[in-house]
Copies of this chain bind each other. A is one copy, B any other.
C-alpha cells in the first residue's frame, strides 16, 4: 500500500490488516508493507497466496482495515518479563503461530524469551499439548504403539532403519515420523527417501501402518505438530537448542501418533547436543517426567556420541550400510550394537522382552532375517522397490580418498567437520554425497593408509569438499596435521586417485 494511504488509515508498516474482497465477502489477515513508489495511492498489491485465498482479480475492490492486536503478544511480553505462562496462554500462542497470525519476528520473540527465561515442566507440558491439539492426530484401535527418537548431533546415525523393522517384526506397531536434516548430513527421512517416497498425510500414515505394522515417513508432510517447524526455523539463525521446546517438539510427535511407549536415544559427546553424562541424565529425567504427564512410558539411553555411528555419512552411503546390516553383515559393530540396544528398550517397555533381555531379543530378530523382511515390506508399502538390496545402491561417482601422511593412531575425530564436509559434498540433497570413514578413533594407521573417502554426485562439489577437508582436518593422527597444502590448486580426479 502507498505510505500515504497507510497514514490515512493510521496503520504502520508491519501492522496487521484484514483484507476483505467486496465481491465475495471472503476475508484474510496479512501484514502491511508500505511503499512510496511501487504502488499508487488508492491501490494495494497483495501476495500471490493472499490473492489466491480471496480469489482476487486485477482491479477488484478490496476493503482494508487495521486488525486487532493478538493477545499472544501480551503473553509473549509476559514471558519476557519472567512470568509463567498458563496452559491457555500457551495454547493461544501456538494456535496463532499455526494460523500465521504471528509474524516471524513475533515468533522469534517467543523463542528468545523462552530460551532466556526457561520454560518449566508445566509450561513444557502445555506447549506439548498445544502443539498436538493444533495439528493432525492418529489413533489406533490396537496397541501398544511404540516409538523411538534420537535427539541428534551424531553423524551417520541411521539406526531407525534397523530399529523400526526389528520392533515391527516383533509384532508391535511403530508409525515412525522422522525429520530431514536441517544442519546435518541426512535425517532419517532423507535416508528413507533414497528407497521410497516419504511424504504422506496423517491418514495415509495410519492406513499404511495398519497394513505393514510400521512406516518410516517424513513428519514434515503430515501436519502433525505443525507449529514445531515454524518455531525451529526461528531458532536456526542463532543455533539455539532450547531444552523446553525440544522436549515438547519430540514428545508432541509421539503423543500425536498415540504412542504408549517411547525409547529415546541421547547421544553424549563433545560435539553432541548433550556434552556430559550428567547433562544427559538430567535431560532423560525431563523426558520421563513429561512422558508421565502425557501417560507415555519413556526410557532413555545415553549413548556414545564422540564418533559417527557406523562408518557411513550421507544418504546413499548410510542406506547401503544399514541394508547391509539388515542382510546379515556383522559390521559395523557400533551400528548393530546401538540399534539393538534402542530396539531392546522398546521391546522391554512394550512387554515383548524381560528387563535386560531386550537387546538380545532384538539381535535375534535382526539375525533371523525377519527385520530385513519387515523393512522391505515398509519400503514396498510406501511405494518403493520391495526387493532392493544393498548391492543396488552406489554412492556418488566422484570421490577423493584422504590418506594418513604419518604412521600412528587416530586420536581425534571432529563430528562437526565431518558433517560440514559431507554437506559441502552435497549431502543430503545430492543423495550420493557423503563421507565414508576407513578409520575410527583408536585405529592404527601406516603412512599412506586411507582415512576417509569423500563422495559426491557432482565434480565441483567434490572439489569444494576436498578443499574444505584440507582446512578442517577432521581426523587427527597422533596430533599431526594431515594432507595440508599451501595453496588452492586445480584438482583433477586422476590425481586424486593416484595420490
Chain A positions within 8 Å of B, measured between CB atoms, are: 7-8, 10, 12-14, 38, 48, 69, 73, 76-77, 80, 82, 103-109, 111-113, 115-117, 182, 233-234, 236-240, 423, 426, 429
Is A236 a contact partner of B182 (Cβ separation < 8 A)?
Answer: no
Cα of A48 to Cα of B426 in the assembled complex, Å: 32
Cα of A7 to Cα of B426 in the assembled complex, Å: 10
Is A112 a contact partner of B117 (Cβ separation < 8 A)?
Answer: no
Which residue on chain B has the smallest CB distance to residue A117? B116
Residues of B within 8 A of A76 (CB): 238
Is A237 a contact partner of B106 (Cβ separation < 8 A)?
Answer: yes
Cα of A7 to Cα of B427 in the assembled complex, Å: 10
Residues of B within 8 A of A429 (CB): 7-8, 10
**Given A8-B429, A10-B426, A105-B234: 12 more A-B contacts, CB < 8 Å:** A12-B182, A13-B233, A14-B233, A38-B48, A73-B237, A77-B240, A103-B104, A103-B237, A105-B108, A109-B111, A113-B116, A116-B116
Q: How far is the CB of A77 from chain B (nearest CB, A)?
A: 5
Is B77 a contact partner of A12 (Cβ separation < 8 A)?
Answer: no
Q: How far is the CB of A65 from chain B (nearest CB, A)?
A: 11
Cα of A237 to Cα of B102 in the assembled complex, Å: 10
A77-B238 CB under 8 A given contacts A12-B182, A48-B38, A116-B116: yes
Q: How far is the CB of A407 from chain B (nearest CB, A)?
A: 37
Residues of B within 8 A of A108 (CB): 105-106, 108-109, 112
Which residue on chain B has the smallest CB distance to residue A111? B109
Question: Within the complex, which residue of B104, B182, B238 is in contact with A80, where a contact is CB–CB below 8 Å?
Answer: B238
Is A10 a contact partner of B423 (Cβ separation < 8 A)?
Answer: yes
Residues of B within 8 A of A73 (CB): 237-238
16 cross-chain CB contacts under 8 A: A10-B423, A12-B236, A14-B237, A69-B237, A73-B237, A77-B238, A80-B112, A80-B115, A103-B237, A104-B104, A104-B105, A105-B105, A105-B237, A109-B109, A109-B111, A109-B112
Which residue on chain B has the smallest CB distance to residue A48? B38
Q: How far is the CB of A33 from chain B (nearest CB, A)?
A: 10
Residues of B within 8 A of A113 (CB): 112, 116
Question: Within the complex, which residue of B69, B80, B236, B240 is in contact with A116, where a contact is CB–CB below 8 Å?
Answer: B80
Residues of B within 8 A of A14 (CB): 104, 233, 236-237
Which residue on chain B has the smallest CB distance to residue A182? B12
Residues of B within 8 A of A117 (CB): 116
Cα of A207 to Cα of B145 in the assembled complex, Å: 77
Residues of B within 8 A of A115 (CB): 80
Interface centre among A69, A108, A240 (most CB of B within 10 A): A108
Which residue on chain B has the smallest CB distance to residue A45? B48
Nearest 5 pairs of A and B residues by beta carbon: A105-B108, A112-B112, A7-B429, A104-B105, A116-B116
Residues of B within 8 A of A111 (CB): 109
Residues of B within 8 A of A7 (CB): 429
Cα of A238 to Cα of B69 in the assembled complex, Å: 10
Q: How far is the CB of A72 from chain B (nearest CB, A)?
A: 10
Cα of A303 to Cα of B80 in the assembled complex, Å: 30
Cα of A234 to Cα of B104 in the assembled complex, Å: 11
Which residue on chain B has the smallest CB distance to residue A426? B10
Which residue on chain B has the smallest CB distance to residue A7? B429
Cα of A236 to Cα of B234 in the assembled complex, Å: 19
Q: How far is the CB of A423 from chain B (nearest CB, A)?
A: 6
Residues of B within 8 A of A48 (CB): 38
Q: How far is the CB of A183 from chain B (nearest CB, A)?
A: 9
Cα of A239 to Cα of B76 in the assembled complex, Å: 11
Which residue on chain B has the smallest CB distance to residue A14? B233
Q: How far is the CB of A85 from chain B (nearest CB, A)?
A: 15
Which residue on chain B has the smallest CB distance to residue A433? B10
Residues of B within 8 A of A240 (CB): 77, 80
Residues of B within 8 A of A233 (CB): 12-14
Cα of A233 to Cα of B105 in the assembled complex, Å: 11
Residues of B within 8 A of A77 (CB): 238-240
Question: Within the complex, which residue of B13, B182, B238 is in contact with A109, where a contact is CB–CB below 8 Å?
Answer: B238
Residues of B within 8 A of A239 (CB): 77
Which residue on chain B has the smallest CB distance to residue A112? B112
Q: How far is the CB of A5 from chain B (nearest CB, A)?
A: 11
Which residue on chain B has the smallest CB distance to residue A239? B77
Residues of B within 8 A of A103 (CB): 104, 237
Residues of B within 8 A of A426 (CB): 10
